[in-house]
Amino acid sequence: MIPRLVVLTDRAQLRLGRALVRTVRECADAGLSAVVVREHDLPMSARSALVEQLVSIPGLTVISSRVPDPSAQGLHCAAHQPVPSSGPWGRSCHSPAEVERAAGEGASWVTLSPYAVSASKPGHGPALPPGAFAGHPVPVLALAGIDLRNAAAARVAGAHGVAVMGAVMRAADPASVVSRLLEQLQ
C-alpha cells in the first residue's frame, strides 16, 4: 500500500548547498517512507546511481519516475506510458476517468492533479474539484500545490494521501515539513 505521504524529488528546487541524498535521508529520519525519483535530466548511469543511494536508506521505498530501474521498488508512469510488465506501479492522472482507466489496467496507486495551483508548474490547472479525489478503486494521492496549508484538506476531500515536491524540496528544513505533513495526514 502506498503511504499517505510521498515526496517527489527535484534537486533543482533545493536551496543552494543542499544535496538531494542528504535531504531525502533527513526526510526519512523524520518519518518519510516513500520517495519518487524524478531527475529525468540526469544521464541514466547517474540516475541509476542516485536510485541505488536512496534504496540504501533504511525504511524508504524508492519509486522510479517514468524510467524502470532495477534497484527501485516501483515505477510511477506518466499518463501516456504503457503498462509495465511487472512490479508495483502507479500512474499520473489528470481526471477521474484517467484514474478509473489506470485502476482497470492494474495500477497500485495514482497521483491525481492538479489539486491546487502549483509553483512548480505555473499555468498547470485549473485545480480539480475536491470531489474528484474520492471514491476510487485505487489509492489516490493528491498532487500539485500541496503544502502545509492544504494537505489535510486533500484527505478530507477523499484522497488517500498526498504527493509533494516543491513544499519539501524548496523548504529551508525539508525534514520539518515532512514531519508536519505526516502529523496532518494521520
DSSP code per residue over 34-55: EEEE--TTS-HHHHHHHHHHHH
Q: Is the pTM value of this prediction over 0.75?
A: yes
Q: Domains of the chain by range and CATH?
A: 5-185 (3.20.20.70)
When pLDDT is averaged across residues 75-99 and rounded to a whole number, the result is 96
CA distance 169 to 13: 6
The pLDDT, as a whole number, for residue 1 is 82
Q: Tally the C-alpha atoms within 13 A of residue 147's C-alpha that lie toward its C-beta.
A: 12
The pLDDT, as a whole number, for residue 122 is 67
Read off the pLDDT of residues 65-78 as tens digits, 9 standing for 90 and up.
999 999 999 999 99
Q: How far is CA 151 from the centre of its chain?
A: 13
Structure confidence at residue 126 as a pLDDT band (50, 70, 90): confident
